[in-house]
Structure 1
Amino acid sequence: MATIHIQSGKNNIDHSLKYSNIQSVPFKIHADCDAKVTKYFDKYVKTQENGTFTGSFRGCPLRGKKVEIPESYVGLVLHESIKPSREKDERKFYIINNFNEITFWNWDKVTSDNDSITQALQWIDIAEALHSPILEE
């Protein structure tokens, strides 16, 4: 198993980057470059009456929902500048920005509390309750 190092600190955060619209999509894009998301994706996203979103990627329908990161937590945008050549090599990630909400997408399926990202965010509250000290009155 590889060791992972996350370098933090004010010097690593790139304040010129605007990550106000973080998205989790149900597919992998084999590219490591900037994407013209605003031009080719964002302007085709439609907001529904119930606060969810519809969109598409390469003609396939997507359904999305915006969720907030729980209070006192923060989402991080990480960057790995040098990828290791072997799976067991140490890895170094750098924090380049942070966020407090994320839009997640499903393939043509209505978003729900059963989606993995929603369950993961709910688990934070459950884990805190399980691991917090019991105060006797």
Structure 2
Amino acid sequence: MSQPMLSLKPEAPSGNTPKATPHLLPCRVHHTGSVDPVQSFWDPKADESGTGTAYFRGRKLQGKTVKLPEGYRGIVAVASPPEEPSRRPEEPEVVDLEAEAPLGTLQAQAEFDEIVVWGHEVAVDGAADPYLRGAEEWLALADKIHSYPATTAKEK
């Protein structure tokens, strides 16, 4: 069996990964610096039906909370560069074209059991939203390939 291309390492050795709620926003922000204080940019409010309303850069957003199915958990992870094999400095580098791809590492930062998907002006529709549809289709496919057919009385 071949080696996996990615491995997931827990955030803390104790295994106490913090809980989070990811938000999928229909926007692209070209900024990599600090946004403190976050409350001045992002302060969503939920109404009695559970639909969230927020304003981001003057645009009204409507959010829908989606719970992950039973037996699933989400992980917020950051990619770490693949580990370089250790070798002595005087050794020449040998390239093996038949060798497997280097193993990358994902470092868990938080875990979640629900996400909030935001839409412009209206709450997202599960049938039309590509993120929700993709997640539902992937879960259905994963369920099919990881399940076993039920045995009948004749097969026993």
> Structure 2 length as normaliser, TM-score?
0.63
Aligned to 1:108: 121
Which residue is equivalent to 1:130? 144
Tell whether the 8 Å contact from 2:51 to 2:62 is kept in structure 1 after alignment: yes
Q: 1:78 maps to what in 2?
A: 77
Rounded to whole Å, the distance in 1 between the matches of 2:136 and 2:63 is 18
Contact between 1:47 and 1:54, CA under 8 Å: does it hold in 2? yes
1:118 matched to 2:132: yes
Alpha-carbon deviation of 1:70?
Answer: 1.4
Q: Does 1:93 align with 2:106?
A: yes
1:25–1:105 Cα contact (<8 Å) kept: yes
Distance of aligned partners of 1:57 and 1:8 in 2 relative to their CA distance in 1, 3 Å threshold: same
CA RMSD of aligned residues (A): 3.2
Unaligned runs of 5+ in 1: 83-88
Distance across 1 between alignment mates of 2:144 and 2:20: 32
- How far is the alpha carbon of 1:126 from its aligned partner? 2.1
Deviation at 1:34, TM superposition (A): 4.5
Q: Is the 8 A contact 1:77 1:96 kept in 2?
A: yes
Q: Are the aligned partners of 1:70 and 1:121 in contact in 2 as well (CA < 8 Å)?
A: no
Query: Where does 1:1-137 land on structure 2 (aligned, <5 Å)?
Result: 5-9=6-10, 11=12, 15=16, 18-36=18-36, 38-43=38-43, 45-80=44-79, 92-114=105-127, 115-131=129-145, 132-137=147-152
How many angstroms apart in 2 are the aligned matches of 1:21 and 1:40?
A: 19
Which stretches in structure 2 are left out of the alignment for 5+ residues?
Answer: 82-100
| Structure 1 residue runs of 4 or more that deviate by more than 6 Å after TM superposition | none
* Count of residue correspondences: 128
CA-CA distance at 1:95 after TM superposition? 1.4
> 1:125 deviation in Å?
4.3
Q: Report SS of the residue matched to 1:20.
A: coil
| Equivalent position of 2:90 in the other structure | none
Letter in 1 for 2:126: D
Matched AA of 1:118: L
1:104 Cα deviation from its structure 2 partner: 1.1
Contact conserved, 1:65 with 1:104, CA < 8 A, in 2? yes
